[in-house]
Each structure stands twice: as C-alpha cells, then as structure tokens.
Chain A
Amino acid sequence: MASPPPPYGQNYSSAISPPYPSNSQLPQPLKRRQSDMPSSAPTIKRRKASMLSTTSASSAHPLRQTSFPPENPGNSIAYSRSPSMDTMSMASGMGPSSVKKKKPRKTKGKDNDDESVVGGRGASASAAGKRRASREQTADASDDGADEPTTLEASAERKAERALREQRQRVLVANHFDDMQFRRYEAWRAIKLPAATVRRIVNQTLSQSVPLPVIVAVQAAAKLFAGDMIEGARKVQSQWLEATGESQTGLPSPPAEGDGPIQKELRRGPLHPDHLREALRRHMLENNGGLVGELGLWQAQNHSGVERFGTKVGGKRLLK
C-alpha cells in the first residue's frame, strides 16, 4: 500500500512539476471522495481486473490510497471464506471418498464381491458426480457473491448457506453407501480424541492449564493429522505392494481381468507401523505439512541442534 504503484508513475511522466498539486486542489479531493464512493465500486473492479488506474484522471493527491486489497467478501473476518470452504468440502470429501475405496477390500473372500463392488463403484461414481456438480454450483455462487457488499451479516449468511449445502451433500453421499462404507463413515464422524487426554498432554507440555478453546482447536487439528497419517500410510502400503508385487495375505491373486486396481484393493493386509512411519516422513518432507516437527526449524533457528557443534577433525569439518 505504501509502495508507489505504476499508475502514480504515469503521473510523474506527464507532469514535470512536482506531483503535489497546487493548494487550491487540496479540499477538492476530500469533497470528491464522498461523491466518488458510489462510483468507486465499478472503478475498484476495473482496477482489480487490469491494474489500470482511473485515479490518475480524477484526483492526484499524493496521500490518496491508490491500490486497494482485492475485493473479497468477508475478508475482514478471519478465515471465513477460502480455508473453511475448501476444508469443509475437502473434509467431507476425504471421509467418504476414501471410504468408497475400502468397500471392495473388506469383502475379501466373499462371493457377493463382484456385484457389490460394481454397485459400490457405480453408486460412488454417481454420487461423486452429483457432489461435483453441486460443488460447481457452490463455486458459481461464490463467484456471484464476490460482488455483494461485504457486510458482516451477508458473509455470515453465506457461511450458513454453505454449511447447509455441505450437510445436504453429505447426506446425499451417505445414502449411497454400502454397509461397510457406512460403518466406516459413521466411525469417522464419531471418533474424537477425548478432551481429558488431550488436556493432560497439552498441560504437561506447556506446564500450564490451558483454556477450553485451545483444547478444542488442538483436538480438531490432531484428528485431522491422524487421518492424514493413516490415509498416507494406506497410500504407502499400496505403493509398496505394487513395488514388491506380492500380496500381504499370501493368497494367490487371480489373473487380472482388466480391473487391476480393484484387485489390488482386495488383497491388502493390515497396516504396518512402517507404513505409518513412512507416511510421517513423507508428510514432514512436504512443505505444506508446515507445522509439526518444527523442531527442525526451531533447532535451526536456535542453533541448538546438531548443526551447532559440527564435528571437526584436523581442522576440517566432517559431515557437512
């Protein structure tokens, strides 16, 4: 906001005299700003679109704000739009979508495998299609909503709408679940890290007693993290199975008849701790893990980690 934007530079090129207009112009910008307000909305949009400035034409007062933050409804409210919208659809998408894959795996040796798998797949495809369509509607609605005035009530309303829509989508998807899928979905909704345990851990770590909202936030984050880890572990497991080419159950796998991936889902064993550890390692390496394992960052910042006392032999540093 403080940096001189390009439009102002254009002013410089046109006027040889110093940019500060004559004194007589001073009161004018102030007055004009008020009348400018109704027309400022379209100008703001144009500015956002093409970075051209229409201000240089109207008022060239040096202290006037010439660049505005992108017109984003509910921007003043923390984390109102993008994170929660994406998260809610992603969170609701994570549970059901991963659940769909497990259905074929669970019914390992049963005869109703194929039809239930096909049924599950078909239903999940249609449900996913429906959800995708409704999510597009959500995106469209949000695009329309960007032009509305950014009032507190408007954004709260939109949030409530979004919550209702998400809930409807969830119910829609849940209706198409098979038995196993539904049990897993139920379990996913119901699991929670008990507040007592979380509170104990947090209090012991910080050696203080923390207020309730902190505990709620930590619970939410930890549940997400655990989910991420387990799903990552499953991915690792499938990759390792593919790589070694053997099946963990030891049963001979029938020849693939064009549905290779479904076969792979069927022949899985329980998760190994190694899968979890590998998933954790990958999560740390990815930058969007962000938090967790900041010990590395902390040590680097404090110079108190291993790097601090580098091993030296004969004046030369080993293990750089």
Chain B
Amino acid sequence: MEPRARVGKNRGQQNFTDQELQSFLFAHGDVQQSLEPTKKVLDELITDFITELCFEAHRSASLAGRQKIKLDDIRFACRKNPLYLGKIEEMLDKKKDIDQTRKLINPDDDKIAKSAVKALEEELTAADDDVDQDVASKPGKSFGKK
C-alpha cells in the first residue's frame, strides 16, 4: 500500500514544531524569520522523506521475510548515499559512547542518571566549540549533539 495513503490521518497537520523548523532554516542559511509557507513545505518535505525511507526499508525487510524493521534495513535503504551511511554510523557510535559513559557514571542503574547526564550533555554542546580544548586530556569520548 502506498505510504502516502497511510498518512491520511495526519494530512495538514504540522509534524515538527515551528521553532525547530526555524532553527533548521536559520542554521543552514535562511533569514532569522523565515516565511510561513517555507516552513510548512519544509515540514512536509522532512515528513515525506521519513515516510519514504521507512517504506523503502520495509520493502527490503518484507523481501527477507521479516515483519519487524531492523537497523540494517534503514542502512540498506540508504545504500546509494555514502554520506548518509556515514552519518548514521557516526550517530550510532556517539550514542554508544554516551551510553557507555553513562554506565561509568552510574553502573548500577543508568536510567536513574539519564536525565542528569542529558542535562550535562546539553551544556557541553555550545561550550564545546568555542573553548580551546585540550583534546588529549579528554577521556577520549566526545560529547556532542546530533
């Protein structure tokens, strides 16, 4: 069944918040207050992309006889685009690092410290960039946002 037909319920609904879309446009070069229709179109673009990506992943999964989507299906769907592949790899590595560090901080129950560590990470992003950091002294794990 065509993926767009399945989205029927959400037609016309804005999926991403106004502020996020504005930050996206600003970060990549638009003015600080983008036009309203531009944001709507961007929202729809991203939603469609996600939908089609998942659909493509689902196709290969069902060909393999699986119903559930796995990470490798997404990777396979991106196979033509090495940039995307690399970015996915990078994100997964970062996530692993963060999880490992969380375990170091609180080996008993990392769910308890989750919010505290997340807050810690939030602060680190912006300060990350402008301070001359002695990278060698860091424990070898880079905190950074996606």
Contact = CB atoms under 8 A, between A and B. Distances in A.
Contacts of A190: 23, 125-126, 145
Given A79-B89, A171-B129, A191-B24, A294 B55 contact: yes
Contacts of A105: 29
Contacts of A206: 54, 58, 69
Interface string B18-49: 00100111111111011101101110011101
Interface in A260-291: 269-273, 275-277, 280, 287-291
Nearest to A168: B135
Counting chain B CB atoms within 10 Å of each CB, the highest count among A106, A185, A190 belongs to: A190
Interface string B79-92: 11111111111111
B7 to A, nearest CB: 7
A164 B15 CA distance: 36
B75 A217 contact: yes
Nearest to B85: A83
Interface stretch (A121-129, A136-144, A208-216): A208-216
Given A191-B23, A208-B68, A291-B56, A185 B87 contact: no
B86 A86 contact: yes
B15 A227 contact: no
Nearest to B82: A83
B90 A88 contact: yes
A72 interface: no
B81 A291 contact: yes
Counting chain B CB atoms within 10 Å of each CB, the highest count among A105, A186, A211, A273 belongs to: A273
B55 A205 contact: yes
A101 interface: yes
Interface extent on A, as a size class? Answer: 35 or more
Contacts of B85: 79, 83-84, 87
Contacts of A98: 28-29
Interface string A140-166: 000000000000000000001001100
Nearest to B3: A205
A188 B27 CA distance: 5
A280 B52 CA distance: 14
A196 to B, nearest CB: 11
A186 B129 contact: yes
Contacts of A189: 125-126, 128-129, 144-145
B28 A188 contact: yes
Contact of A221 (B24, B55, B70, B88): B88
Q: Enumerate the 5 nearest inter-chain pairs by beta-carbon distance, A residue then B residue, closest first.
A: A290-B80, A87-B86, A188-B27, A83-B86, A230-B28
24 contacts: A82-B82, A106-B31, A164-B135, A186-B126, A187-B27, A189-B128, A190-B126, A202-B54, A205-B3, A205-B54, A206-B58, A216-B88, A217-B88, A218-B53, A225-B45, A227-B27, A270-B30, A272-B38, A276-B38, A287-B80, A289-B80, A291-B52, A292-B53, A295-B52
Interface of A: 78-79, 82-88, 90-91, 95, 98-99, 101-102, 105-106, 160, 163-164, 167-168, 170-171, 174-175, 182, 184-194, 197-198, 200-202, 204-208, 210-211, 213-214, 216-227, 229-231, 234, 269-273, 275-277, 280, 287-295, 298
Interface of B: 2-4, 6-7, 9-10, 15-17, 20, 23-31, 33-35, 37-38, 40-42, 45-47, 49-56, 58-59, 67-71, 73-75, 77-92, 95, 125-126, 128-133, 135-136, 140, 142, 144-146
